[in-house]
Structure 1
Amino acid sequence: MSAGVMSKGDGGGRRRRGGRNHKVMAEINVTPMVDVMLVLLVIFMVAAPMMTVGVPLDLPKTAAKAVAAEQEQPLTVSLQKDGTVSVMTTTVPQSELVERLKAISAERKSDKVYLRADGGIAYSQVVQVMGAMNAGGFSNIILVTDTGGPQMGGKSSGKPAARN
């Protein structure tokens, strides 16, 4: 390295090799930013399928078409195989279900409620919960099912479903 004499006009900066005047580079290196964005994209792609709201159930299969999405977050009532009832993700005793649904119904615009019942649960229990939902102020009950189930003629369909 060569040692140079500093003059008043140098501003105390380092001397460059070759003595050429180089312009300041005003470009931003975007490679690290792109790397971070790609990592975030991968994280969200992996995490997104795990972000389903609700209680894990074994839903019955059907060949019905999917219901169109709504503006308001849908109210979901889940009936598990052991008879446990959950409103959204909160477990509610069956004795308090009607009162809880009445309180929720007073705050909502829509009278729609989605019922997710485990495929192995007795029909009578599903009907009891549907009656409680109706008594709680929800007259539009939508049964949620998995896709790919048999049609009435015995054929299988791979389309998403939710029945009115």
Structure 2
Amino acid sequence: MMQINRVKRKPVAEINVVPYIDVMLVLLIIFMVTAPLVTQGVKVDLPQASAEPLDQDSKPPIIASINAKGEYFLATGSENGDPMSVTDLATVVAARLQLDPDTPVIVKADRSIEYNYVIELMTLLQRAGAPSVGLMTEPKQ
């Protein structure tokens, strides 16, 4: 009878990392593509002041913006949102505050805008149900 010699293989204790690298590269590409889309707001030249920033643990605020032309915007997640009328802005803010009344409301106004526009917007937001309205600034340099 013929005898077959079998070679015993030792188990390999290495991890194949190639699939993990592939997954990481795909995730990196996804994040690189989506990161510019996440920024929100309207280009506004904010006044500078030394103020305390919002807590990182707080809810994302509702940001009502006024640009230098006096047009109203609401932060919706798109870079170039369309201008809104004052009544539309008040309706959207009131609806969001009914869903979550603890959401902070912030006014983001261009530094060259007349003070009257800011006061009108703050009054409008308080009528829409905002318990308090904050003002957004840039830190002093």
Relative to the length of structure 1, the TM-score reads: 0.62
Deviation at 1:21, TM superposition (A): 2.9
> Partner of 1:13 in structure 2?
none
Q: Secondary structure of 1:142's partner?
A: strand
Q: Secondary structure of 2:98's partner?
A: helix
> Partner of 1:97 in structure 2?
89
Mapped to 1, the partners of 2:43 and 2:107 lie a distance apart of: 13
Deviation at 1:118, TM superposition (A): 1.5
Give the alignment partner of residue 46 of structure 2, picking from 55, 59, 70.
59
1:87 to 1:32, Cα distance in 2 relative to 1, 3 A: same
Deviation at 1:138, TM superposition (A): 0.8
1:62 to 1:39, Cα distance in 2 relative to 1, 3 A: farther
1:146 to 1:45, Cα distance in 2 relative to 1, 3 A: farther
Relative to the length of structure 2, the TM-score reads: 0.71
Structure 2 unmatched ranges of 5 or more: none
**RMSD, matched Cα:** 3.3
Q: Secondary structure of 2:106's partner?
A: strand
User: C-alpha offsets along residues 95-127 of structure 1, whole Å, 9 cap, x if unaligned?
Assistant: 333333322222223152011111221111111
Deviation at 1:128, TM superposition (A): 0.8
Count of paired positions: 133
Mean Cα displacement is larger for which, 133-142 or 93-102?
93-102
> Partner of 1:114 in structure 2?
106
Deviation at 1:132, TM superposition (A): 0.6
Mapped to 2, the partners of 1:55 and 1:133 lie a distance apart of: 18
Mapped to 2, the partners of 1:22 and 1:92 lie a distance apart of: 76
Mapped to 1, the partners of 2:88 and 2:37 lie a distance apart of: 30
1:136 aligns with 2:123: no
Structure 1 unmatched ranges of 5 or more: 1-9, 11-18, 150-155, 157-164
Give the alignment partner of residue 74 of structure 1, picking from 48, 61, 68.
61
> Partner of 2:17 in structure 1?
30
Q: Is the 8 A contact 1:79 1:86 kept in 2?
A: yes
Runs of 4+ off more than 3 Å = 24-28, 38-50
1:145 aligns with 2:128: no
